[in-house]
Structure formats: C-alpha cells, structure tokens
Amino acid sequence: MFIVHSYWQAILFCVITMLCWGSWANTQKLAGRSWRFELFYWDYVIGILLFALLSALTLGSMGDQGRHFTDDLAQADPGNIGMALLGGIVFNAANILLSAAIAIAGMAVAFPVGIGLALILGVLINYLGSEKGNPVLLFAGVGFVLVAIILNAVVYRRKSAGAPGASSKGILLSVVAGVLMSFFYRFIAASMDVENFSTPAAGKMTPYTAMFIFACGILASNFLFNTILMRRPFDGPPVSYRDYFKGGTGTHFVGIFGGLIWGLGNALNLIAAGKAGPAISYGLGQGATLVAALWGVFIWKEFKGSPARSHVLIALMFLFFLLGLGSIIRAGQ
C-alpha cells in the first residue's frame, strides 16, 4: 500500500486535507438553492463511501509495503473494527448538525465555530492518545484558533442582531457539532497502528481499511440520524424519501461530488497521521475552518451588510487562524 515517509510530505497531505474539508460544503451551498440539505446529505454520504472503497482497492492494495486491503480486513480484530465504526457514527452525528448549521448560519460561521471548536478539543484528545509533537507549540496554536473563533462569533452576533433566534440556533448547532466532531478521529486512530503502517500490529488496521469501515459506520448511522432529521428538521417543513428520488441526476451528482472531496481529504489525513502524528494531522486538517471562512466571506458574501468595524474583526480572525496553523506545523518538526 502507499505510505508517507517524509514529515513534509505528511504536512502537504494535511494541507490538501484542509482544502478538501474546507471546500466540500460549497457543494451543499450549490445544491441548497433547490435541494434541502437533508436530501443532499444522502448523496454526500454515498460519495464518502465510494471514495473509501476506491482508495482501499487502489492505494490500499498496491506495492509491497503494509498489508493489502482484503488481507488487512480479514485479520482485523473485531474490537478495532468496532472502534472505526463508532468513529463513523460519531462523525455522522456531528456532521449532520454541522450541515444544519451551514444551512441556517452559513459557512463563515458554522465552520469557524463548529470545526474550530473540534480542532481545539480534538488536538487535546488525540495528543493524549499519542503524544507526538511539541506540546507548547501545539497548544499555543490551539490558543490562537480559540481567539479566532471568538472573533468570528462576535462578528456573527453583530450581523444577526436583528434576528437573535436565528443567531442562537446557528451558533448552538455549531457548538454541539464541534464537541462531537472532536472525538471521531480518536476512534479511527485507535483502530490503526499509527506507529508503524509498514508492518502494523496483528489485529490493527491500515488507514485504508479503517477509512472503509469508518465510511460504513457513516452510511449505517445515516439511516437513523438523517431519517429523524428529515421528519423533524431544525428548519423548514419535513421531507420524505419520495422527495429524494425526485432529484435530477445533476443534483445527486453535486452531493456525491461533495462526499468525494471530503473523502479525499480524509484519506490523505489518515495516511499522514503515521508520520505527523494524529494530533498534528487532525489539527491541520481541521484548519478547514480557515478555508471555509474564506469561501463564506469572499465567494458567498455571508457577512455582506455587517457593520464596518466587522471587517477589522474578520481580518483579525484570519490572522489568528494563520498563526495557529503555523504553530501547529512547527510543533511537529
């Protein structure tokens, strides 16, 4: 299977992860013009599973290093399979809430608050699980990200001053999503031998196998989580499975494409974790907050009409995000 052997190659993969995880929600924004996010989300999950299977059968089954996908799956310990499945279930619960927050509050709010919070808590959780990297630089970076999140929340509050109900709902969903999102990566990492992808311990899985099992957990849990949300949505009237099958080919493809984008980022991030360590790999990947905020501010104009002083706060938000990500990168050197 394909394995990363250089720290800087791992960092490059994490940067690509950041771009993927921060950009997939654009497909939700595009589909959202005529398609409810609950319906979009089915196609998104299918896209994640398709990419996980594709990567397992290609990169996960080529070369002489590590175990090939089918061999790895056959020898995996049931407990480790369960951990990866649990990671998929937790991620799905968090991501559905994040998608709802995007639909209500926009990318420029849901990502910095929700995923920024996931970055802070997730780095701590993953560092405690595998203490790799300089803790001072790592948590200094986390501190910078925390400041950026606070600045973003202040700007959103000012913009939504005339509609406090919408403001509270969008931020609350983002916060709950962020707390849940901080745990999923630890479950996947626990199912793998992150110290040795070349000759992983018996019963442990390679990144490709873990990613496939993780994606299966997302799909299986979606029949519960998304069905509930379709019947009792956070915003708007209920939708049905009949509505889903009324969607055109192009509409369904947009959602699948969004899942493929996220899946690519997830694959590269898990591959990079062996060299960079789970805390740094996860932390940099969740720098997606910066990418999503850029899309929300400059492409979707989600802060248009905000008070003039808000632009200064937005600039400071981006500055602190950059300082935080730079510190996290330095932590692994």
d(CA 49, CA 62): 20
pLDDT tens-digit series, residues 147-173: 887 887 777 767 665 555 555 788 899
Residue whose tokens read 């699948």: 256
Question: In the prediction, which pLDDT does 161 show?
Answer: 59
Alpha carbon distance 123, 212 (integer Å): 23
Residue extents of the structural domains in the chain: 7-331
Q: Is the pTM of this model over 0.75?
A: yes
* pLDDT value of residue 168: 77
For residue 301, which amino acid is it?
K
User: How many Å apart are CA 191 and CA 65, to the nearest integer?
Assistant: 19
Per-residue pLDDT of the chain (333 residues; tens, 9 = 90+): 999 989 999 999 999 999 999 899 899 989 988 899 999 999 999 999 999 999 999 999 998 888 999 999 999 999 999 999 999 999 999 999 998 888 888 877 787 888 888 988 999 999 998 888 899 999 999 899 888 878 877 777 676 655 555 557 888 999 999 999 999 999 999 999 998 999 999 999 999 999 999 999 999 999 999 999 999 998 889 999 999 999 999 999 999 999 999 999 999 999 999 999 999 999 888 888 788 878 888 888 877 777 778 889 889 988 998 999 899 989 987
Q: How many CA atoms lie within 13 A of 252 on its CB side?
A: 9
Map residue 21 onto helix, strand or coil: helix
Structure confidence at residue 307 (pLDDT): 76
